[in-house]
């Protein structure tokens, strides 16, 4: 039997699903202990981080074919939380948030300190979050004064269980209105999806009920000229994530932003 981690994960999640699935089902409940039992039944050892298994299928990996082929056309299975160490497969409308092609790229003077730029990892989520923070891209994108509150927040929300939020800001606009801004960062093959947005909004409602939530997702995108930071403001419309705004930022040395660049950006400003 293969000891490859993705393969082991797929075997376990498929066993959990198929043991409970009935034709026509739209939700299937299971618990963390069921993952252990499934691994033991399959004779799979060494899956110590069960949280990573759940995280993988929420944000990074596709479900195995045994699961995906049971979903009706236009729908897919996702994993929701329903309390501490409790989960639920739920049928949901297929919903992908991806960077739009042909978007105008806004050049911003790169404020990342040189010493940070020298040692920072170039492609992971923490690097992306640090780059956003040093360049005050939340302020620019949302047109607010934003203040970093906490990074990599892990907490428990009633009715959902343990959740993780990549970054959290508080913000205020010139009218005095205040916001809570949960930020999810995606790199590589990670997907921006409905599960994370639901969790972020549940956190905001539970912990910051007096502040207006404005969920944001950020993503690195590579092109021939280097790296673009794509930013989305998101809203949950029923069970579907929709994009309120999308901007593409390219960080550059101030000397590399030409008069022509300034003119083009002035012409496109709103």
Question: Residues 6 or more apart from 211 whose CB is under 8 A from it?
Answer: 170, 178, 179, 180, 204
**Rounded Cα gap, residues 130 and 149, in angstroms:** 13
* Amino acid 189: pLDDT: 60
Tracing tokens 């990670």 back to the chain, one arrives at: 190
pLDDT (tens place) for every residue of the chain, 270 residues total: 344 555 888 999 999 999 999 999 999 999 988 988 898 888 887 666 777 888 788 877 889 999 999 999 888 999 988 878 889 999 988 877 888 888 999 999 999 999 998 888 776 888 899 999 999 999 999 999 999 999 988 888 888 887 889 999 999 999 999 999 999 998 766 677 778 888 899 999 999 999 999 999 999 888 878 789 999 999 988 878 899 999 999 999 999 999 999 999 888 877
Query: How far is it between the farthest Cα atoms of the chain?
Result: 66
Instruction: Give which of 58, 15, 5, 6 is closest to 36, Cα–Cα.
Output: 15
3-state secondary structure labels for all residues of the chain: CCCCHHHHHHHHHHHHHHHHCCCCCCEEEEEHHHHHHHHHHHCCCCCCCHHHHHHHHHHHCCCCHHHHCCCCCCEEEEEEEEECCEEEEEEEECCCECCCCCCCEEEEECCCCHHHHHHCCCCCHHHHHHHHHHCCHHHHHHCCEEEEEEEEEEEEECCCEEEEEEEEEEEECCCCCEEEEEEEEECCCCCECHHHHHHHHHHHHHHCCCCEECCEEEEEEEECCEEEEEEEEEEEECCEEEEEEEEEEEEECHHHCCHHHHHHHHHHCC
* Amino acid 3: pLDDT: 44
* Amino acid 2: pLDDT: 41
- CA torsion, points 146, 152, 156, 161, in degrees to nearest 10? 120
* Amino acid 146: pLDDT: 98
Two structure tokens written together for 261: 């660049």
**Rounded Cα gap, residues 139 and 161, in angstroms:** 31
**Rounded Cα gap, residues 126 and 130, in angstroms:** 6
**Rounded Cα gap, residues 9 and 13, in angstroms:** 6
**Rounded Cα gap, residues 115 and 134, in angstroms:** 12
* Amino acid 174: pLDDT: 95
* Amino acid 263: pLDDT: 92
**Rounded Cα gap, residues 208 and 213, in angstroms:** 9
Two structure tokens written together for 233: 């403001």
**Rounded Cα gap, residues 202 and 206, in angstroms:** 6
Contact 35, 53 (CB under 8 A): yes
């Amino acid at each position: 039997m293969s000891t490859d981690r993705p393969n082991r994960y797929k075997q376990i999640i498929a066993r959990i699903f198929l043991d409970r699935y009935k034709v026509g089902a739209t939700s299937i409940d299971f618990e963390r202990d069921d993952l252990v039992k499934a691994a033991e039944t399959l004779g799979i050892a060494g899956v110590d981080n069960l949280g990573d298994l759940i995280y993988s299928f929420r944000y990074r990996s596709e479900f195995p074919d045994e699961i995906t082929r049971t979903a009706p056309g236009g729908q897919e299975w996702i994993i929701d939380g329903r309390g501490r160490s409790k989960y639920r497969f739920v049928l949901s409308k297929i919903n992908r948030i991806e960077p739009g092609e042909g978007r105008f790229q806004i050049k911003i003077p790169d404020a990342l300190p040189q010493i940070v730029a020298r040692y920072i990892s170039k492609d992971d989520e923490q690097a992306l979050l640090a780059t956003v923070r040093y360049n005050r891209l939340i302020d620019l994108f949302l047109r607010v004064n934003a203040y970093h509150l906490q990074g990599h927040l892990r907490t428990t929300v009633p009715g959902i269980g343990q959740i993780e939020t990549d970054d959290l800001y508080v913000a205020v606009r010139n009218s005095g209105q205040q916001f809570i801004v949960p930020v999810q960062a995606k790199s590589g093959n990670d997907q921006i999806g409905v599960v994370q947005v639901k969790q972020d909004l549940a956190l905001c409602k539970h912990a910051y009920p007096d502040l207006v939530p404005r969920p944001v997702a950020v993503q690195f995108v590579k092109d021939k000229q280097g790296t673009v930071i794509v930013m989305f403001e998101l809203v949950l419309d029923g069970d579907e994530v929709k994009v309120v705004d999308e901007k593409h930022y390219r960080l550059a040395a101030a000397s590399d932003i030409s008069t022509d660049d300034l003119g083009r950006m002035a012409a496109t400003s709103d």
